[in-house]
Structure 1
Amino acid sequence: MLALTRKKNESIIINNNIEITVLEIKGDQIKIGIKAPRDIPVYRKEVYLQIQASNKDSLEQEGLDDLRNLLGLKG
């Protein structure tokens, strides 16, 4: 993990097209702003993990057998 120190209104750039800016520092919380192309999804980690778990559950419960049947694979 890369750890950087930034002050209010300072930014970092990722991959030439994502900018993360520290907007506010209040106690033990910071508010950040993220500028990224619309085709790049940005999620809070807890939401991302829920989406991944939901997708995994969906695939395991419904889609895997259907996909195997469609591809003519034996499970």
Structure 2
Amino acid sequence: MLVLTRRSNESIMVNDEIEISILSIEGDQVKLGIKAPREVEIHRKEIYLQIQKENKEALNLPGELINLLQKNK
């Protein structure tokens, strides 16, 4: 893991297209601003993990149920 120190109103760049800015620091809370192309998905980690979990569960649906869902399109 890369660890960087930034102050309020400072940024880091990820490749050429993603800029992460420190907007403010209040106590133990840091507000970030992220500039990225629209096609780049950005999620809080807990939301990302929930999406991954739901995707894995969807892969485990019985074949008959998947066929039924496809017929109802």
List alignment gaps of at least 5 residues for structure 1.
67-75
TM-score (norm. length: structure 1): 0.81
Percentage of matched positions with identical amino acids: 56
Per the alignment, residue 33 of structure 1 pairs with: 33
Paired positions, count: 64
CA RMSD between the two structures? 1.2
Aligned partner letter, 2:3: A
**Superposition misfits of 4+ residues, deviation over 2 angstroms:** none
Give the alignment's TM-score, normalised by structure 2: 0.83
Structure 2: gaps of 5 or more residues: 65-73
Hey, what's the Cα distance between the residues in 2 that align with 1:34 and 1:24? 13
